[in-house]
Structure 1
Amino acid sequence: MTEVHGSRSNMFCERAVLGNEASVEQFFVNRLISALDYADDQVRPKESLDELMVNQGRSRKRYRPDYALEVDGTVRWVIEAKAVGESLESFVGQAASYCHHLNASHHDGNPVTHFLMTNGLTTELYQWDRQDPILRLSFTDFDESNPKWKQLKEMLCPDSLSSRRWTVQPTLFESSLTINQSSISEINAAFAWCHKLIYRRENYSYSAAFMEFVKVVFLKLLSDKSVHGNSRAVFADDGSIAVPASEVRFSLSWIERMEEDSPNPVADIQFRNLVRQLEEEIRQRKKKRIFSPGEILDLSPETIKGVVGKLEKIDLYSMDSDLNGRLFETFLNATLRGKDLGQFFTPRSVVKLATRLADLQVSREHVDTVIDACCGTGGFLIESLSDMWGKVEASQTLSPSEKSRIRDEIATEHIFGIDVAKEPALARIARINMYLHGDGGSRVYQVDALDKRFHSHAAESQEVRSEKEEFKRIAGKQVFDVALTNPPFAKEYARKTDAERQILEQYVLAYQNTARSRTPVARLKSSMMFIERYHDLLKPGGRLVTVIDDSILGGDREERVRSFIREKFIVVAVVSLPGDAFQRSQARVKTSIVVLQKKNFPEEEQRPIFMYYCTRVGIDEVARQRVLPVDELNRKAAEQEIEEVGKLYRDFLSGDSAISDWIVPAEAISKRMDVKACLPSAGRNVEKWVRDGHRVAEVGELLRSAFFDPEDATLLSSDRSEDVILAADSDEMVTLLRVRYDGTPEVGETIAASDSTYDTLYRVRAGDIVISHINAVHGAVAVIPEQLDGLVATKEYTVCRPREGYHPFLIWQLLRTPEARADLLLSSTGMGRTRVDWSIVSKLQLPVPSEEVSKATVEAIQKARDLEQQARELYQSAGTSIGTALNLDNAEARALLAAFKPPR
């Protein structure tokens, strides 16, 4: 505690001269060192000291103290000076950690005995391995007759330290436990192993085994958190931490020591104490429930030992530190698969980009209040916490005490999460995540956010009812500045059950309004409902930053949702995500991030919109568990793209006209809102091609449809009518054509024409160009070779013939270029599986190459085709030769294969 009254001077200086850190060093610390009888060559200033990696809370940083004092050529104690008014307590950990590093380099003992902290008005002396002061002096205690000054001088003077032997502290080297930072793949593998152990040994379901494992991991995280804050921990440059084994609770050695008191000490001692502690915090209304009253860790001692042994040397607390611990997403990825994971998981780069676009505001006067009403395991909540804490720490205008106050305020009052899931109880997992990262989950609620009335049910406990009532009161005040969220894509509410019907009736979007009637819709996607729900929860002017299915932004059936958005919000930004952004959850949904601002008044006009299309964000999260070198490259590429988009968006918000390429006018979103429809346009290079002297032609000038008149898509052409097969009237066996993404045609399934799901089939001929309606944008365009003449194509293909003067290979190459496929994609219909039929392909504009380039292109492709044919013939010849020579190809072998080969 800093003294503020009393004498205006002490033996070193006047109180009035002390202010910033420099003045404390000049007028107080330098004179203190001299009074302790240190010569100049015994004083090492900051500039001469090595920077070491030390711990500061849960993070690590480079640090060196202001002074180190040597006796007999060895550093024996250090000094850290601060400005008047700065809290010394905030800096004790890094000074203690620095002393540990110095002592760790001396295997014959611990020469550094103390460190001293001072802001001029308060001075505290600490033993090197403790974080509580052993001596505290006020400004006026520095007087020749004061006993505290005499004690300090006796302990720290050179003569005393020279005669004092170094204390030996072998525990760091002879009985220590080292925990190490591990890669995501290593943690995935360890978690999967532990989950499987619990699942098999304890006969639990996958979900129940998961919840038991969550309990064990909670204890592990608490233990790791304690290790990071341990004054005796030694931090190595590789991220590992050595700590006395006796001080690590999550360890086999701790279990062995405690087994005399309990046969299952982790369950009976650690977990029960944790539950009792949490219950007391719930009773005091400091925390929300994580575990049920009296809940137990229901695992056998052998299983717990197996899990502890697997995890005790892995540092989970610092895992993925840029996101402050995406622990449970990592675990879910290791233990769950496919669409089950989709409801929990948002790729970390998508979370980071969305949070950047949220532009969260933190200042002395205002702190944004954030909500995620479908928070899952808390990824957006933790990233919001990290983002706002980072802005507080980076502030140049806030004092240390203000920073501490605002950090606490953010954690306990400004981050809200809601999730309705009960199996597993994701809200409780989010509370664990938040509890371990600063807020205790005090603002995470297990309620159905889509139920605007927060109905209670007879079977609910009083605690659940109270939780609903608490959030109901908060929701009614519209306290939220930002909603940062990823609603579930596929979940729907239908009128089939009373509960869901009651919820649907609360929503404007659950009714189809016409000039004459208001008709209820049968079902409604929850992602649409959340748009309306967040409008209810946000303040006027509040921002909704949400991942959204592109069908909502551009689909014909979703126009009424877009009308609602245009009526209630200002569209600020739309950032398109790659199609594979959610590959880990096997969700084949094209998505975007939208930033919507709730209108302050109904007449508020739409402004120009920032739009961008990402190519790398989201693809850094792969579906496979094995980590490959390309994953690290993808992660860095995603991070770089986040920085690029973040900068462009800041420039947009500041009104910088230099980014006009990424701004669309308000009228651009009058129909569709997706980036593909509003920002880029097909044919964007036509003028450039003309300027460069190329002739530009529509594809319809180079090709003609083999079966349909260009003026009437329903009219059959006479020259190929014999190749049209009316499936219902035909008993012919036909072989279907397939076209791969690389443009290779191949033999497909052989079926009876009458069994086809299509009413009409089209026989292809050598030299035909076949274009896939669904996959042309991926390159599925093929020239039919002689050996595939006679295969049949369905209506999912357009079969074409080159016009006179154009070789099919030339047109094939043109249609498969990135430019052609990009323009087809921009012109395509559909929001999911994009489609391009002949009416779109025929209007595609492309430059026509010169005769010289055309000839060279055709010759190169023909040569490649000839070489491919030669390769096929050589393969066949080799097989025939060895089969004949050794009788490896015979009738009996073929009969056995036909009889017993497994089905495809």
Structure 2
Amino acid sequence: MGDAFEVFIGPTLRGEKGQFFTPRNVVRLCVEILDPKPDEKVIDPACGSGGFLIVALEHVWKKIEEKYKHLPKEKVGSLKTEIASKNFYGIDKEFDLAKVSKAYMAIVGDGRGGIFCADSLVSPEEWTPIQREKIKLGSFDVLLTNPPFGSKIPITSKSLLEQYELGFKWKLDKKTGKWERTNKVLDKQVPQILFIERCLQLLKPGGRMAIVLPDGILAGDKVGYISSFIKDAAKVIALVDCPLETFSPSVTTKTHVVFLEKKKKGEENGPYKIFMGVARKVGHDRKGKEIIRIDEKGEQVIDDDIPLISKEYKVLVSENKKGKSYTYLGYLVDSNWLENNLIARSYLPEFLEVLEEINKSKFEVKNLGELKQKISTGANVGAKNYTEPEKGYPYILVKNITDEGINCADLKYIDEESYHANKNAIVKKEDIVINRCGNAGIADVVPEDLDGALACGFVFKVSLRKEYNPYYVVAFLNSRLGRMQMNRVALGTVLDHITKSELEKIKIVIPPKEIMEKISNIMKKSLESRVISRKLLKEGLNLAENINKF
């Protein structure tokens, strides 16, 4: 009934202010993992049309029906109505959405009295007396929400921003590696970030929440303070990575569902297991068209990983099945691994196994940042500035840096003006070039015949300190140990990319000099043979072009 209701009202309500209906499979996942109980108070502070509340209510009602199946139906019905009216609450800023949610709750069960039209982010003092009476900070056991998000709807009110820790500017203390709040109020903040803090305020200590958030605020150099704030205030109990198509066709945004448990006063994070799952399919494509697959019984089913993740959670966490082999749909991660990065795929077991293998090396291990003299990016030059090879300078693009080295077959050349205007992007012989995006993380040493070429803006150029050998470093970066680390930190909302700070954290095993030289010499010979091959090819083609001069 709920699905049909949203299909009917959806086109008239969605989208102008960053609000979109949460797909029913994601809603069910949240409810099944949080598992609200009949005596628990539940709230959605951005309830929209009430989807989370309805599914949570149905979930609780099933528990009531099972527990009291020996009672008359009328008695069970009264219990269900009482729970709906006393334990379920929703807030939405938009009058039409709040009205729809009230109607929805009235149709399913009498929970309409708990739905209010109000701004969840303002101080409760600005709510009406009845709203303040019914909705108190620190009084809810379970919270489920998908807050409106987007840079087009920022919060700019200073009086509102200063009510939130996340409404202030934060800075990273490079010595301690910890984020600290400053006393400077931000000029603006996107609502989804403030919603994180308000949601935690609404929960009791020990309360549980599920919140849908865009990947862009869960990892990255500039937003690490958000994950740091979350980890200080709550235990991360689960992370579910949703595909790019999850909210299609309404919007294409890469999201996660973040599950938290609010810390009790004085509670410290001891080691515990965090459930994580990565959904690669969500049952529809970017146009919203349903995708069907044939299951093991030969029957047509929707091709959707989300329900499978819920099943994995039940097996791994609820049933505590130890020793079960992991899949990307469900795996447990020791909380000690958790960084200021809440992207589930960063903690896939194969990535963590590589890090552990490196950490246990009998040789010294250093970060790439410790080896570098300088790391910078190239420069983007438009195609209108391309020219003929004999008139220009080589321009190294992402597509030129491949698993087999720098491919010069399709090398572009730029005019003299563009070249001299971007001198900081010039690479020298034995510099290292690394793709920032596309095939992110692939590296190579700049050969002799590309000395003085220009690197594009989607390429890192790295010069090492004299005591470190670029041929060895490239060999390590392109090995399994290096590539798995690169894949781990290559993140993005649409196109995966590597940030400079993450690149500097890549671990490099530093073997004794004789081992390093052996590997370096092999790599150098490989590079030199490619240079010789290009020279011979060029010579042969030149002779063929001038065949009539023989």
Q: Structure 1 residue 669: deviation in Å?
A: 5.0
Q: SS at the partner of 2:282? A: coil
The equivalences for 1:503-902 within 5 A come to 503-511=160-168, 518-550=183-215, 552-558=217-223, 560-562=225-227, 564-567=229-232, 569-578=233-242, 580=244, 582=246, 584=248, 585-599=250-264, 602-616=265-279, 619-629=282-292, 635-651=303-319, 662-665=332-335, 668-669=337-338, 675=344, 680=349, 682=351, 684-685=353-354, 711-713=372-374, 733=392, 736-740=395-399, 743=402, 746=410, 753-754=417-418, 758-762=422-426, 771-777=434-440, 792-798=454-460, 815=478, 821-827=483-489, 833-835=497-499, 843=508
- Structure 1 residue 681 displacement after superposition: 7.6
Change in 2 beyond 3 A, CA 1:825/1:427? same
2:15 corresponds to 1:325? no
Q: Which residue of 2 aligns with 1:352?
A: 28
Does the C-alpha gap of structure 1 residues 710 and 559 become closer, same or farther in structure 2, counting only changes over 3 Å? Answer: closer
Residue in structure 2 matched with residue 407 of structure 1 by the alignment: 80
Amino acid at match of 1:822: M
Give the deviation of 1:361 after TM superposition. Answer: 0.9
Q: CA separation in 1, counterparts of 2:256 and 2:322?
A: 27
Q: Does 1:434 align with 2:105?
A: yes
- Equivalent position of 2:174 in the other structure: none
User: Residue 554 of structure 1: CA displacement?
Assistant: 4.4
CA contact (8 A) 2:139 2:203 kept: yes
Assess if the C-alpha contact under 8 Å between 1:393 and 1:403 holds in 2: yes
**Would the aligned equivalents of 1:798 and 1:838 in 2 still touch at CA under 8 Å?**
no
Partners of 1:344 and 1:377 within 8 A in 2: no
CA contact (8 A) 1:487 1:530 kept: yes
**2:544 alignment counterpart:** none
1:764-803 C-alpha deviation (Å, 9 max, x unpaired): 99x99953123334x8679999x999974225325799x9
Task: Provide the rounded CA distance (Å) in 2 between the counterparts of 1:394 and 1:544.
Answer: 25
| Structure 2 unaligned blocks of 5 or more | 172-179, 295-299, 531-536, 538-550
Shift of 1:434: 3.0
CA contact 1:686–1:696 (8 Å) conserved in 2:
no
Q: From the superposition, tell whether residues 752 and 482 of structure 1 become closer, same or farther in structure 2 (CA, over 3 Å).
A: farther
Residues 57, 84 of structure 2: 8 Å contact kept: yes
Change (3 A) 1:513 1:789: closer
* Aligned-partner residue type, residue 198 of structure 2: R
Query: 1:95-174 counterparts in 2 under 5 A?
Result: none
Give the Cα–Cα distance (whole angstroms) in 1 for the partners of residues 209 and 443 of structure 2: 42
| Cα distance in structure 2, aligned partners of 1:513 and 1:552 | 14
Cα deviation, 1:358-381, whole Å, max 9, x if unaligned, reads: 12112xxxx222111111222212
* Correspondence for 1:446: 117
Q: Cα distance, 1:645 vs. partner?
A: 1.8
Tell me if the contact between 2:47 and 2:90 (Cα under 8 Å) persists in the aligned partners.
yes
Alignment partner, residue 135 of structure 1: none
Matched with 1:501 is 158
Question: 8 Å contact 1:608–1:664 — kept in the other structure?
Answer: yes
How far residue 651 of structure 1 moved from its aligned partner, in angstroms, is: 4.1
CA distance in 2, matches of 1:679, 1:551: 19
Q: 1:487 aligns with which of 128, 147, 152?
A: 147
- The Cα shift of 1:577 comes to 0.7
**Are 1:379 and 2:51 an aligned pair?**
yes
Larger-Rg structure: 1
Q: Partners in 2 of 1:564 and 1:820 — Cα distance? A: 30
Task: Please give the residue correspondences for 1:46-57 in structure 2 after superposition, counting only pairs within 5 Å.
Answer: none
Shift in alpha-carbon separation, 1:685–1:403, aligned structure 2, 3 A: same
Report if the CA contact (8 A) 1:760-1:794 is conserved. Answer: no
- Alignment partner of 2:184: what SS? strand
Q: Does 1:417 align with 2:90?
A: yes
- Cα 1:834–1:454 change in 2 (3 A) is farther
User: Residue 393 of structure 1 is aligned with which of 43, 49, 65?
Assistant: 65
Change (3 A) 1:754 1:740: closer
Matched letter for residue 208 of structure 2:
R
Q: Mark the CA change 1:628 to 1:603 in structure 2 (over 3 Å): closer, same or farther.
A: closer
- 1:526 Cα deviation from its structure 2 partner: 1.9
CA 1:816–1:513 in 2, change beyond 3 Å: closer, same or farther? closer
* Backbone CA RMSD of aligned residues: 5.6
Separation (CA, whole Å) in 1 of partners of 2:355 and 2:114:
56
1:398 Cα deviation from its structure 2 partner: 5.3
Distance in 1 separating the partners of 2:427 and 2:415:
14
- TM-superposed CA distance for 1:752, in Å, is 6.0
The sequence identity of aligned pairs, in percent, is 23
Structure 1 residues 821-870: Cα deviation after superposition (integer angstroms, max 9, x where no partner): 43213356889743368756682899x9xx9xx9xxx9xxx9xxxxxx9x
Give the conservation status (yes or no) of the 8 Å contact 1:781–1:816.
Answer: no
Tell me, yes or no, if the aligned pair for 1:354 and 1:545 is still in contact at 8 Å.
Answer: yes
Give the count of matched residue pairs: 479
Equivalences for residues 182-331 of structure 1 within 5 A? 317=1, 324-325=2-3, 327-328=5-6
**Cα deviation per residue 1:283-314 (whole Å; 9 max; x = unaligned)?**
xxxxxxxxxxxxxxxxxxxxxxxxxxxxxxxx
Change (3 A) 1:620 1:380: same
Query: Equivalent residue of 1:361, what SS?
Result: coil
- Cα displacement (A) at 1:726: 13
**Cα distance in 2 between the residues matched to 1:757 and 1:638:** 50
Q: Is the 8 A contact 1:733 1:753 kept in 2?
A: no
Tell me if the contact between 1:581 and 1:619 (Cα under 8 Å) persists in the aligned partners.
yes
SS at match of 2:113: coil
Compute the TM-score of the two structures, normalised by the length of structure 2. 0.66
